[in-house]
Every structure is written in C-alpha cells, then in structure tokens.
Copies of this chain bind each other. A is one copy, B any other.
Amino acid sequence: MNILEKITQNKSAFSKSERKVADIILANPQTAIHSSIATLAKMSDVSEPTVNRFCRRLDTKGFPDFKLHLAQSLANGTPYVNRHVEEHDGPDEYTKKIFESTMASLEVARQSIDINIVNRVVDLLTQAQKISFFGLGASASVAHDALNKFFRFNVPVVYFEDILMQRMSCMNSCEDDVVVLISHTGRTKSLVEIAQIARANDATVVGITSKNSPLSRECNLVLSLEVPEDTDMYMPMASRIAQLTLIDILATGFTLRRGGKFRENLKRVKDTLRGSRFEKRTDN
C-alpha cells in the first residue's frame, strides 16, 4: 500500500536510471509531489519517459497517479516505513510505531466490518430482555468494558469472568436473551461451549470474533473483525482495540435507536457520578 515502502523494496529491481529517480524521490518526497514530470526528470538527470516508466513499474497509472499515491503516503504521518517494533527501538520509536499500527489496524477493521450485521445486532440488542458479555483472557477486559457501557442503558446486562458462572448464566437464558461472545481467535474451547449452551436455551448468540472460526460457526450472528496482529510481541494489542471500537459502535447504535429521550437519561446517569468526583474548577 504505502508507496514509499514499495520504492525501497523494489529498489533492486529497478534499472540504473530508475534508481536515480527513486533516490531523488526518497530524498525529498515533499518536493516530488509538487514538481512536474519535467522538473523531476531534470533533478534526477534522466529523461521524462524514464520517470514515467518508473511510475508504471510501481503499478500506478502514470505520473499524476503516482503523485497522488505519494501524497497519500506522506499524509499518513508514516515517514517511518516499518511499523513493527524492533529490538533496538527507543521509546520515541516504539511509541510512534504502536500508535501508527493501532490506527492502521482500525482502518483495516473498519473496512472489514459488515454494516448490515452491525445493524441487525443493534436490532437484537435493543429488543433483548437481557444482554450478556463474555470473553476470556484479553477479551475479558473488552467484555468488561461492554458491561460498563450497556449498564448505563438501564437494561439487564451480565458479565462474568468465571467460566462456571458464564455457563450457569447461559443455562438460565431464554428466548429474548442475547449473549455476546468476544474472542479474537474464536478458538477458545470454553467459549465455544458457552455458545452451544446459550443456543440450546434459545438465546441469540452474537460473536465478535474472526470469520470461519469454531466459535463463529456456533453463533447466530458473527461480527467478524479481520485485524492483522503483530505477532512479534506475543500479545493481543490491535485486535482488542478494534473490538472495543466495535463495542462503542454497538452502544452508539443502541442509544440512537432508543431516541433522544433515552439520551437524556444517559446524561442523568453520568450526572449521578458527580458526587464521587471533585468538581472541575471553572476558572479555566
């Protein structure tokens, strides 16, 4: 995707003159996007068609199209080509990289989401008698967060960390209940079992998990998030952020569906917290 990355990668496949062009562009990409093909050719000390051929080699339609791609790469705030954290990275580098990769993952997640399913899940949630959120490990905190959000809506909402409690809760579920199961991989055995139990008791099971996973096959509805996880760190990071954002979306859809008066009620819930807080000074 990123064209600057592409240039450095393919550099070896370029010809001598094309490499001249590549060097000039990499050295000063900001100037490149504001130059015509003629000036760029002169700067690189090659002919204009060479610049054009260079652009095509990078799978762009031509020079103007190349400039567009380049402009986008520069805009992303991704001067750093590699978003993966490396051994020798200092705090400034890994901070930058983690922010950038998180944002990039959100972008990917956004594109992978099926709006129709979002809508249907919101439908289900608004009509539910009881809503349960279950997840294990890293996804437990996501379920925890969902509890916090939906609790404000004054609907019966359930969350357990303990798998036995989760099972018991699902055994007692009935037709108008919705069980939301969260798992990045969708391979956690006990969650799959819980999905089965919930369905056996006529509850509707919604999975926030990956497509074609064992868990997804047990769900009535699957909100799949295809998030590239940086496996170097051996920790779920981006996937969990995407799940949380999805929770935000469901919660938002929920409040919108309930209408304006409902939102006023939310405000009251928030105001209730005031007693537990220090007042904000009004002099700033």
Contact = CB atoms under 8 A, between A and B. Distances in A.
Interface of A: 33-34, 64-65, 67-68, 71-77, 85, 87, 89, 91-92, 94-96, 98-99, 102-103, 106-107, 109-110, 113, 115-116, 118-119, 122, 137-138, 140-142, 144-145, 148-149, 152, 185, 187-190, 192, 212, 214, 233-235, 237, 240-241, 244-245, 248-249, 251-253, 255-256, 260, 263, 266-267, 269-270, 273, 276-280, 284
Given A72-B72, A94-B256, A141-B144, 6 more contacts: A72-B74, A89-B256, A95-B110, A192-B278, A212-B284, A244-B244
Contacts of A106: 99, 102-103, 106
A235 B233 CA distance: 31
Given A189-B278, A277-B188, A91 B140 contact: no
Nearest to A161: B144
29 contacts: A34-B68, A64-B64, A64-B67, A68-B71, A71-B71, A71-B75, A85-B256, A87-B256, A91-B119, A94-B252, A95-B113, A95-B118, A95-B249, A96-B110, A98-B249, A102-B248, A103-B103, A103-B107, A185-B280, A187-B278, A187-B279, A189-B278, A190-B276, A212-B284, A233-B252, A234-B266, A234-B270, A235-B251, A240-B244
B144 A98 contact: no
B142 A141 contact: yes
Contacts of A71: 68, 71-72, 75
Nearest to A271: B234
Q: How many chain copies? A: 2
B85 A214 contact: no
Nearest to A270: B234
Question: Main SS of chain A's interface residues?
Answer: helix
Contacts of A255: 233
Contacts of A72: 71-72, 74-75
